[in-house]
Amino acid sequence: MINLDPKNMSPEEKSELDSLVLETIRRFSSDTVYFKDTESRFLWNSYEHCAQVGVKDPEELYGKTDFDFFPEEFAQAARDVEVEIMKSGTPILNIEETLERDNEETQYYLASKYPLYNKEHEIIGTWGISKNVTERRKIQKELERSYRKMQTLARVDDLSGLYNRRYFYELLEKTINIYEERNDETTFTLIAIDVDDMKFINDQYGQPHGDDIIRHVAACMTINARNTDTCFRVGGDEFMILLQDCDKIHALGIAKKIAESVNAQAVPVGDGKSEKVTVSIGIAAYEKGTDISDLISMADRKLYKSKRNGKNQVSF
């Protein structure tokens, strides 16, 4: 049994303790531990490192390099880091390593590497520790996906599937700032849409069928808008479309297609009945210096003009 009293240990006992510590690290470390010479050839390896490369005994690694066990890109990246450490004498910590092999799950490692010195304090190689953080990365990615999903849900209207009022104001403000800084003549357009006689529909057929109308209008907007356009439900039966790099004339064509699409197909309202629906639409184009309130007001005024003039039409 080794004498562990640091004040009374003999040189032989200290040497035995050093060997015990080193062997304990080699056999039981859950991280990979490795020592290399100046050519990045393995001098000493832990059993966890053996398991990583698919051998049973550390002696099988002696004199070999990462190129014998890993894809070339991975091995070269490790070699480049080790060369830099030997040149500078400075450790490089928390290196993110991605190990990709054919037909195997991608593995992620966090490595820290250090210069290896002899008794004369000359650099004779490198040594390092690598921790497998694959499971941590999976959890991190899942959390990121959940966060993005939550962000999306916070921006989406449940009933229509369109973006909601809050995101409308957020994106409109960003868009105004972008176009305010532009030096060209391009502009963007806002389309305001309101379902005609929505109160009558709800009173006559009930709220659930009114919801079907909302979904019908939302679908017509999505189908007829461009991929670059963004559709919103901003109120009960009120909708907006933000059309970037689009003037009034092109916006008019899109608005007319939406109005025609809404009215083209009757929506079931119960008891075997179907009802055709119409919308009134207003269009406003952004001009430099216009703020959010003014732009929305312009679009709303054009929409109300459509209402006053008989509904089921587009004003700009």
pLDDT at residue 126, as a whole number: 98
Task: Please state the rounded mean pLDDT for residues 245-265.
Answer: 95
How does the average pLDDT of the chain come out, rounded? Answer: 92
- Does this model's pTM top 0.85? My answer is no
pLDDT at residue 2, as a whole number: 67
| Strand runs labelled E in the chain | 32-37, 42-45, 92-99, 107-117, 123-132, 189-195, 230-233, 238-243, 267-270, 273-275, 279-285, 314-315
pLDDT at residue 213, as a whole number: 94
Lowest mean pLDDT among 3-12, 163-172, 277-286: 3-12
**Domains of the chain by residue range:** 31-138, 156-315
What sign results for the dihedral spanned by CA atoms 84, 89, 90, 91?
Answer: positive
State phi, psi for 80 to the nearest 5 degrees.
Answer: -60, -40
Lowest mean pLDDT among 2-16, 208-222, 285-299: 2-16
| Among candidate residues 164, 83, 166, the one with its CA nearest the CA of residue 125 | 83
Is residue 189 pLDDT above 90, yes or no? yes
Whole-angstrom distance between the N-terminal and C-terminal Cα of the chain?
94
pLDDT above 90: percentage of residues in the chain: 76
Lowest mean pLDDT among 29-33, 107-111, 136-140, 227-231: 136-140
Task: Please state the rounded mean pLDDT for residues 284-303.
Answer: 94
d(CA 94, CA 85): 14
User: Is residue 149 very low, low, confident or very high in pLDDT (cuts 50, 70, 90)?
Assistant: confident
Is residue 1 pLDDT above 70, yes or no? no
Is residue 4 pLDDT above 80, yes or no? no
Count CB neighbours of 193 within 10 A. 29
Q: What angle do CA 292, 293, 297 make, to 5 degrees?
A: 120
CA 304, 307, 309, 315: dihedral to nearest 10 degrees?
A: 60
**Residue 152, both tokens:** 């999306």
Give 165-177 pLDDT, tens digit per residue: 999 999 999 999 9
CA R_g for the chain: 34
CATH code reported for the domain at 31-138:
3.30.450.20
| Among candidate residues 220, 85, 231, 217, the one with its CA nearest the CA of residue 156 | 231
Give 29-80 pLDDT, tens digit per residue: 999 999 999 999 999 999 999 999 999 999 999 999 999 999 999 999 999 9
Correct CATH for 156-315 of 3.40.1440.10, 3.30.420.40, 3.30.70.270, 3.40.440.10: 3.30.70.270
Lowest mean pLDDT among 148-152, 188-192, 221-225, 296-300: 148-152
Strand order through the sheet with 314-315? 230-233, 238-243, 189-195, 279-285, 314-315
